Amino acid sequence: MIRSIRKPGGGGPRSGGRLRRSVAWLVGVVVVAVAGLLGGPYLYIHVFDNNEAAPLAISNTGSTASSSAVPVDGTWKVGSGSQAGYRVHETLVGQSTTAVGRTSKVTGTATISGTQLTSATFTVDMASVTSDKSQRDGRFRTSVMDTSQYPNGTFTLTQPVSLGAIPAAGKTVTVRTTGNLTLHGVTKSVSFDVTAVRTGNTLQVQGSIPVTFSDFDVTAPDLAGFVVVDSSGQVEFLLDLTHS
């Protein structure tokens, strides 16, 4: 009887099968890892993470108008219910999402004389701005805005705003506004639209200011390409002003 001779270290049918199974297993691991890397952020953003805040909007419309609205002339002070913050687009491993951070720690006043907004100054406590992610908030307070050194953001009106006519109670008006916006210790002139409505003793004011971060010496976060933040965003605000 002639026996087959297998060379030392040679691969027979069994060893070849084991090799193929090992390669298939390794390929499977790689596929699962890639699917987790790409699909995980998609599921997290689009399925599990549904907390994106809607844009701030005026709620006191004409349907709640009061004929006993106080006169427009005088000083209006920021009251409870006011909010300010940011909105910016992020990319998380190729998946798009929107980051929104807000605070209710807003102070300031506006003065109206006749049919003109003659002055306005508002201050936001930047360290109190929070989003739905504590990691994002940590970066915002440190490497992004450095709130320990620049704790406040401010807006100051630099040009009187003509209202055209004294707005009737419950009537929404939109006007163009120009002023100085200070963020991260840098002041820039900005112009943007403001929408307002007066009901009772309240003047509700809403607006959104486009901001390019580099204009304010702010570097948009880019965490090794894993999380990339756009180079521009918006400062949002909704102010409930009460007549002093």
Q: How far apart are the first and last CA of the chain?
A: 113
pLDDT value at residue 78:
98
Q: At residue 27, does pLDDT exceed 60?
A: no
Lowest average pLDDT, out of 45-49, 61-65, 234-238, goes to 45-49
Q: Please, which pLDDT band fits residue 51 given cuts at 50, 70 and 90?
A: low
- The reported pLDDT for the residue numbered 10 is 52
* Domain boundaries, given as residue ranges, for the chain: 14-50, 53-243
> Which residue carries 């450095």 as its tokens?
146
Burial classification of residue 6, based on how many CB atoms lie within 10 Å of its CB (0-12 exposed, 13-18 middle, 19 or more buried):
exposed
Asked if residues 58 and 82 have their Cβ atoms less than 8 Å apart, the reply is no
Whole-number mean pLDDT of the chain?
A: 82
Residues ≥6 apart with Cβ < 8 Å to 21: none
Alpha helices in 74-185 (DSSP H): 134-139
Checking phi first, is residue 95 left (phi over 0); if not, alpha (psi -120 to 50) or beta?
A: beta
Domain 53-243 has CATH 3.30.465.10: no
**How far is it, in rounded angstroms, from Cα 182 to Cα 175?**
21
Q: Tell me the mean pLDDT in the region 163-188.
A: 91
pLDDT at 161 over 70: yes
Portion of the chain with pLDDT greater than 90, in percent: 55
pLDDT in tens, 57-103: 998 554 444 445 678 899 999 999 999 999 999 887 778 889 999 99
Region 138-150: what's the mean pLDDT?
96
Q: How confident is the model at residue 176 (pLDDT cuts 50, 70, 90)?
A: very high
